[in-house]
Amino acid sequence: MSNFQWKIFDEIRKHFDDHITITNSGSLGFPKKFRDDHIGGANFALLFYDASQRAIGICFQTDESDKVKLKISHSDKYGSSVNARTFFKTNKIDCVAQSGKYQWENDDYEGKKLFVIRLDKVLKPKIGETETKTGSDASQEAGASTMPQG
């Protein structure tokens, strides 16, 4: 008989990050932990921009009546996201250059709770894509380097 009260670890491949992500494709991403802790049942987001401080404000809401709301896409497995391409283009924000993870802070605007990210404070920028050779390209290159020069 064991004296321990074991609980199996079943949180494999789950993200426990509490940050906001800007993707190369122009979306705002919210990992599952962020969604569970802060978005709750909200299905819409209002986006704000302060150009002087280069800050994006996000307000999550359930109210469908607001005309400038954006739909939040939810995934049980991965978290949530908002397609913000038009927002980035309108505000002349290069989402590829700004892609990465951002720590958020709270602010209040006209009674709305905002989650704010500052574009000059990226936690972890996305690493540039590097060309990787796979399959027949790699084999041909490996074969070429071992062939006798004549």
- Write out pLDDT tens, residues 15-29: 567 899 999 999 999
**Domain-located, residue 142:** no
Round to whole Å and give the CA distance between 129 and 119: 21
**Domain-located, residue 10:** no
CB 102 within 8 A of CB 118: yes
pLDDT above 60 for 47 = yes
Give the structural domain span for 25: 20-124
**Domain-located, residue 132:** no
Q: Lowest mean pLDDT of 9-13, 43-47, 54-58, 67-71, name the range.
A: 9-13
pLDDT of residue 126: 59
pLDDT of residue 16: 67
Round to whole Å and give the CA distance between 29 and 52: 23
pLDDT of residue 65: 82
**Domain-located, residue 69:** yes
Round to whole Å and give the CA distance between 115 and 6: 38
**Domain-located, residue 149:** no
Average model confidence (pLDDT) across the chain: 82
Q: Please give the share of the chain, as a percent, with pLDDT higher than 70.
A: 78
Domain count, the chain: 1
pLDDT digits (tens, 9 = 90+) for 52-63: 999 999 999 998
